[in-house]
Amino acid sequence: MRLLLINPNTTEAMTTGIGDAARAVAAPGTTVRAVQPSFGPRSIEGHYDETIAAAGVAEQVRVHAPWLAGDPRAGVVIACFGDPGLDAAREATDAPVIGIAEAAFHMASLLATGFSVVTTMTRTCVIAEHLVLQYGFERRCRGIHGTDIPVLALESCGEETLAQIEDAARAALARDRSGAIVLGCAGMAALCRTLQQRLGVPVIDGVAAAVKLAESLAALDLRTSKHGDYAMPLPKRYTGWAEPLGW
């Protein structure tokens, strides 16, 4: 299957790293195309960043629509824990679109009665809280914890940064009485296996979870419903820089 992996920020090194993490878990026969918007923030660490990034996600779905249409079992993964532009992307294609936060929450709920999220900047915890409520996981998510590690610091994550994330996860497991940890940033994907070994509990990386969910939907020949609000966008003219994105 074809899998379009969208990194909503514009840092090429992170796009490459996330793409590598996705390919590491993808099934044989899955082709991962890792892309990023042509505009937007270098990292997503707040509401303003996320709003601009959501438009970038829509842009990439629009740009790569012919590639997706070439495979009846294609899928899309939005590789940012805020799931920016998720509904817009689902409206713009009938390929299944999976956000890494939603995927991680589902996976964690299958493995433990309660889970905790460990993320980057504390200021983004409220964004994750909104998603927990939106997706209906408020009875399973027992806490969301920021480490105040900048997103781009994960590009060259050394032992000190890893230890900081591990310490936050240990504290969350004890404080929240949780049975699993969800990593709250796509840039943490490469740390998942190490943290799981050290913590002794399931550690869920949303990138890997989203890839496997997309492959599962493809195997079941299930696609995004075009009945109702996920119907294709109405034809209309767009203006300014968004003119090429109109329908």
Give per-residue pLDDT as tens, 94-123. Answer: 999 999 999 999 999 999 999 999 999 999
pLDDT tens digits along 150-165: 998 998 778 899 999 9
The sign of the CA dihedral 56, 231, 30, 193 is: positive
pLDDT at 34: 98
Assess contact for 38 and 59: CB atoms under 8 A: yes
Q: What is the pLDDT of residues 59-78, one digit of tens each?
A: 999 999 999 999 999 999 99
Same fold, 2-99+208-245 and 101-206: yes
pLDDT band at 247 (very low <50, low <70, confident <90, very high): confident
Residue 130's pLDDT is what?
Answer: 97
Task: Please report, for residues 150, 226, 229, the alpha-carbon distance to residue 209 in angstroms, rounded to integers and kept in the order given.
Answer: 23, 24, 26
* Residue in the block written with tokens 């504390």: 122
Residues 6+ away with beta carbon under 8 Å from 43? 9, 11, 14, 49, 150, 151, 152
On the question of pLDDT at 85 being above 90, the answer is yes
Q: Which pLDDT value is given to residue 157? A: 78
- Mean pLDDT for 51-56 is 98
Read off the pLDDT of each residue in 14-42 and give the average, rounded to a whole number: 97
Average model confidence (pLDDT) across the chain: 96
Report percent pLDDT > 90 for the chain: 95
What pLDDT does 158 receive? 83
Report the CATH architecture of 2-99+208-245: 3-Layer(aba) Sandwich (3.40)
Question: Which pLDDT does position 17 carry in this prediction?
Answer: 94
pLDDT of residue 156: 78
Identify the pLDDT of residue 109.
98
Q: Which residue ranges make up each domain of the chain?
A: 2-99+208-245, 101-206
- pLDDT single digits (tens) 202-215: 999 999 999 999 99
Q: What is the pTM of this model?
A: 0.95
CB atoms within 10 A of CB 27: 13
**Residue 11's pLDDT is what?**
96
Predicted confidence (pLDDT) per residue in 118-141, tens digit: 999 999 999 999 999 999 999 999
pLDDT for position 39: 97
Cα separation, 156 vs 91, in Å, equals 36
Q: Using alpha carbons only, how large is the chain's radius of gyration in Å? A: 17
184-205, pLDDT tens digit by residue?
Answer: 999 999 999 999 999 999 999 9
Structural class in CATH, domain 101-206: alpha beta
